[in-house]
Structure 1
């Protein structure tokens, strides 16, 4: 493993210094408040202005916005300037053309729709492998609106140039649709004995709209999009009862307006329900503290990563099948260099309905306030065909789950 990481470090370092130049690169966008989009990119040119010009026609930039930039150092590595600009207000369901720093190539993104339907592409534990490429190619075939990633991004694991190569790898998708992410264990990047700031690269490169949701940490936050309230929890921030994250979650859930956002989705890295031998029990503390909050709020679906396999559960609460509990899905099968988690527990628990150790991705289309359709697509298929699917009913409209 050490030799492999050293080789990857040397190769990606050469690539970074060859390619990280004056032009913008590693461009990605994310939702940032109502009708706004955050644009993030890197360049080695310290003279570049932190400006994004944009408009609804190619090459015609009627609007511009200014932002700032930051950088970070980690064990001898120094990042290039990381530019961050929030643009808007933007119209819904509209194509925008933009360029970063007043020069360079033109990029294009589409804003999410104002009303249902909306489609999410969802996958965790991407990494940078041939399977990652296959996953991204399959997702590119999807007419999705927002990308959701429950942790496991670059798998840099202290080798900082791998963050740069990851940014370039995902740019073709991440520059065209908003990517909303939360952290996993591979984003921690702490080193025994050596004093390093945890999540320093993740927080600098993938800034999410945590302040807008009242959170004090980029590791957990929430946002609204097209009738859906989405909560991104931090499996590696303190999450026990009465922790800052717990109290924030309690307040966040109590403020949800189910008339305006009838659906609630929750994403985090470490699964609470898991019939795979990998990572058994690692989410128990968070589950014990937070599951009652999710149950009381009638959270519809929970997505997790960490386990490098796909598994879909029935609605469950307190380790038992419960029609008023959240439907849990493990989707940590994006392409991790650690390989697949192939050892499932036998016999299969009653609350586990479908499980398979294959790389792939998921798609959730919410058609209206009451019905959504989930599909899972394995990478072994040349095209993005459906390998598992289920229709999902909204809990807040269920007469059997009234408080």
Structure 2
């Protein structure tokens, strides 16, 4: 009798645990953050603010910042010892006006060549506080923090706090950064919000729909984004800051634009063909692609918005044996099996939607049922992802839910690279045919 009772109690507790996980109460939106700090602290009357860094070609880093002083130099002093700068780099600057708003002087300065996996100290504009950054490793392992649709809310702060705990090398952001939505000072507060992280590790971003900010007859769109977040598009042979690529530690990463032309006659499509033709899977066995509007989405939100881009570009990405596709836009999390043409395919890409950074619009809570065959895991919660590429053949992906301000690892999977399978040789003819097409 006693053993039956124990067995029954065990079943009860197991069932309760499963029910608790299934019945997890999703977090509600949080209000926009207020920013009480002054843009000109007394200790630094010519303040350098909104400092962030990005990769800028082989062994180089671009440092971006803003000053109110229009005469401030676009100079970076840097070195490997605190307070001792052995190198100096001169950069460029820009500014923009948007209706009644005038930006500060926006500086972009490239430093390098830099040693991999090394801490550098740097100072912007010959004065002000000292910052430090860490360059990514030259070889595996390498870790990417991934999150889209950040915004500037209490949940955004939780997400950034959790990313801070992750020992990542590069941050990947597939669109919707500040949610300024035409209110230009919100770009400034966003820059200040992310500066502690973005000044220390490279942030590689692509545009989302909230970056468009187009005003008919007055503004063509993306002016604020392009001026503030300059990415290595020229270094990768692209004609636009809205699409580019870069390489880090055995990984080739392609950032595409969901909101610029992508048809087969477009600059983006032809640049993508050229970029893929140069990928060496012996040198970079991992191939990642990011854009904003997901192609594989079983949430009721934003259904079909990526279909046109998918129709044009999925054949090319499949032929090139892309390993992982990361998207945002839908304010929830979803991970697929390897998939192609809406069906599981062992030579297709793993698609991950991670537009759950913490924006004020809230979560996309409704999913379509039944769950598609290609969909493995889906949940409407705020959070962030971590992709640790361990070696040339294996990587581990994990998603961390923001639960009561604590990061809780809720989904995890090992992924094997297509470069270590027979998929690349099987699809070589397919890739050559597409690359030759006009």
* TM-score normalised by L of structure 2: 0.87
1:263 has 2:286 as partner: yes
The 1:401–1:228 alpha-carbon spacing in structure 2 relative to 1, beyond 3 Å, is: closer
Aligned to 1:238: 261
Match of 1:50 among 65, 70, 74: 74
1:8 deviates by 7.7
Indicate conservation of the 8 Å contact 2:76/2:123, yes or no: yes
Indicate conservation of the 8 Å contact 2:119/2:132, yes or no: yes
1:77 has 2:129 as partner: no
Indicate conservation of the 8 Å contact 1:16/1:161, yes or no: no
Aligned to 1:402: 425
Indicate conservation of the 8 Å contact 1:306/1:332, yes or no: yes
User: Which has more radius of gyration?
Assistant: 2
CA distance in 1, matches of 2:61, 2:39: 29
Map residues 60-139 of structure 1 onto 2, 5 A cutoff: 60-139=84-163
Question: Structure 2 regions of 5+ residues with no counterpart?
Answer: 1-30, 427-438
Say which SS state the counterpart of residue 257 (structure 1) adopts.
coil
For each residue in 1:6-44, what CA deviation from the matched residue of structure 2 results, as whole angstroms up to 9, or x when unmatched? x989x77x9676669611010000000100000000110
Match of 2:58 among 34, 44, 48: 34
Aligned to 1:3: none
CA distance in 2, matches of 1:170, 1:219: 21
Say which SS state the counterpart of residue 147 (structure 1) adopts.
strand
1:59 has 2:83 as partner: yes
For each residue in 1:222-266, what CA deviation from the matched residue of structure 2 results, as whole angstroms up to 9, or x when unmatched? 011110000000000101222111111111111100111110000
* TM-score normalised by L of structure 1: 0.95
1:313 deviates by 0.4
For each residue in 1:43-82, what CA deviation from the matched residue of structure 2 results, as whole angstroms up to 9, or x when unmatched? 1012221100000011010111001111000011000000
Aligned to 2:432: none
CA distance in 1, matches of 2:204, 2:304: 26
CA distance in 1, matches of 2:386, 2:233: 24
Aligned to 1:342: 365
1:355 has 2:384 as partner: no
1:281 has 2:304 as partner: yes
Aligned to 2:8: none
CA distance in 2, matches of 1:242, 1:253: 17
1:300 has 2:315 as partner: no
Match of 1:393 among 401, 409, 416: 416
1:144 has 2:163 as partner: no
Say which SS state the counterpart of residue 379 (structure 1) adopts.
strand
Aligned to 1:323: 346
CA distance in 2, matches of 1:175, 1:396: 33
Indicate conservation of the 8 Å contact 2:152/2:190, yes or no: yes
Q: CA RMSD in A?
A: 1.7
Say which SS state the counterpart of residue 339 (structure 1) adopts.
coil
Match of 2:204 among 149, 168, 180: 180
Number of residue pairs matched? Answer: 394
Indicate conservation of the 8 Å contact 2:40/2:46, yes or no: no
Say which SS state the counterpart of residue 227 (structure 2) adopts.
helix
CA distance in 1, matches of 2:372, 2:404: 27
Indicate conservation of the 8 Å contact 1:16/1:165, yes or no: no
Question: Structure 1 regions of 5+ residues with no counterpart?
Answer: 1-6
Aligned to 2:277: 254
The 1:16–1:189 alpha-carbon spacing in structure 2 relative to 1, beyond 3 Å, is: farther
Say which SS state the counterpart of residue 407 (structure 2) adopts.
coil
Aligned to 2:6: none
Map residues 365-376 of structure 1 onto 2, 5 A cutoff: 365-376=388-399
1:198 has 2:221 as partner: yes
CA distance in 1, matches of 2:421, 2:284: 16
Say which SS state the counterpart of residue 252 (structure 1) adopts.
helix
Indicate conservation of the 8 Å contact 2:74/2:93, yes or no: yes
